[in-house]
Structures are given as structure tokens and as C-alpha cells.
Amino acid sequence: MQSYSKIFGRFGAVLLVLTMAASSAWLLFAIELPGRNCLAALLGVLGGLLALSGLAYAFLDRKPFGSLYRVISSFYIVLVYLGLVAVWSYPCS
């Protein structure tokens, strides 16, 4: 199976993933959600971790960084959906 890194290179893969994460966050903020501030905090923390691990992977060509980036990006997706469900079910201020 082709990965983003094999198709676009390390920098292209990181740029693609961060662009998708930023655009999905922008779309989520366009929706009027009850726990919008908490979701913003969650997305900020998760996006920061995603960006840091992506930069480490892009600039440091070592296998552990690639594996770590893949795991963090997978967890990012799952945690964003869980966060969305949580703020919808239990709104915070």
C-alpha cells in the first residue's frame, strides 16, 4: 500500500496531513457547537502534537520518527472524533 510519504515525500506528506487537520478544524468551527471553546482547546493541543511530530519526521530522517508520526496522526483522528462527541454530549463553557 502506498503511503503519503512514498507518494509525496516526507515534507509533502506532513504538509498534506497538517493542511487536512487545519481545514477540518476550520470546518468544525463553522458549525455552532455547544462546547466550542473546549473543542478549540483540544484541537489546539492535538494539532500542536501533530505539527511537532510532523516536523520531527520531516527534518529528521529516521525510522522511529516516521512510525511515531503515523501513530500520532492516527490518534489525532480518533481523538478529534471523540472530542466532538464529548462536547456535543457534555457541553462545557
pTM of the model: 0.82
**Per-residue model confidence (pLDDT) at position 93:** 64
pLDDT of residue 61: 75
**Structural domain spans, the chain:** 36-93
On the CB side of 85, CA atoms within 13 Å amount to 6
Distance CA 93, CA 20 (A): 27
Taking only the tens place, the pLDDT of each residue in 23-81 is 988 888 888 877 778 888 888 999 999 999 999 988 987 778 888 888 999 999 999 98
